[in-house]
């Protein structure tokens, strides 16, 4: 039973991530049309990142100096990209993933521990599968009938059941 719930929760996270990836793709397309320079900058950052990785793997001489230069160039390009976005009245993080939960980045886990949002989705799935939603459509305060309660009190009661119920309405 729990595995079925976990599958449902993993599907929820997958849908959240897919929706945001699509949204990010649409934001990028929008920006590339309005500010083509940003696509150029991102391509330069990608090339420099590849060079950075190659230099690390090749253990090239003067690797520290080379890495420092590459990192500085990448940082400078990221700053230019951010400045361009802001100059066109976009938020600085417009081209970043926007997670519903920044703690786990919409995975449900922080390391090997379940995130608080996972627990929230678990409760939602339990509630959905419990049948309470259907029960509450009929069994709720809108359908509450005060006339079924007695106006007579017993020896153990200070007030009649009807008076006690009225107190809450």
pTM of the model: 0.69
pLDDT 10s digits, 100-137: 999 999 999 999 999 999 999 998 888 888 887 788 77
And the tokens for 92?
């600085």
* pLDDT over threshold 90, residue 21: yes
Instruction: Report the length, in residues, of the chain.
Output: 169
Query: What is the phi/psi pair of residue 58, to 5°?
Result: -85, -10
Q: Is the Cα torsion angle 71, 72, 78, 81 positive or negative in sign?
A: negative
Radius of gyration from C-alpha coordinates of the chain: 29
Distances (CA, A) of 46 to 24, 40, 60, 118, 147: 17, 10, 20, 33, 73
Residue in the block written with tokens 């379940």: 114
């Amino acid at each position: 039973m729990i595995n079925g719930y976990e599958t449902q929760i993993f599907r929820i996270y997958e849908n959240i991530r897919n929706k945001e990836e699509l949204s990010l793709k649409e934001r990028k397309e929008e920006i590339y049309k309005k500010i083509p320079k940003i696509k150029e900058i991102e391509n330069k950052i990608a090339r420099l990142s590849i060079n950075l990785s190659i230099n690390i793997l090749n253990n090239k001489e003067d690797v520290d100096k080379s890495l420092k230069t590459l990192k500085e160039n990448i940082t400078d390009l990221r700053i230019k990209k951010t400045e361009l976005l802001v100059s066109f009245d976009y938020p600085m993080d417009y081209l970043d993933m926007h997670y519903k939960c920044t703690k786990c980045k919409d995975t449900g886990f922080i390391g090997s521990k379940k995130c608080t949002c996972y627990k929230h989705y678990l409760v939602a799935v339990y509630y959905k599968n419990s049948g309470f939603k259907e029960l509450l459509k009929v069994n709720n305060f809108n359908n509450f009938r005060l006339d079924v309660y007695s106006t007579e009190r017993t020896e153990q009661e200070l007030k009649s059941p009807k008076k006690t119920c009225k107190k809450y309405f």
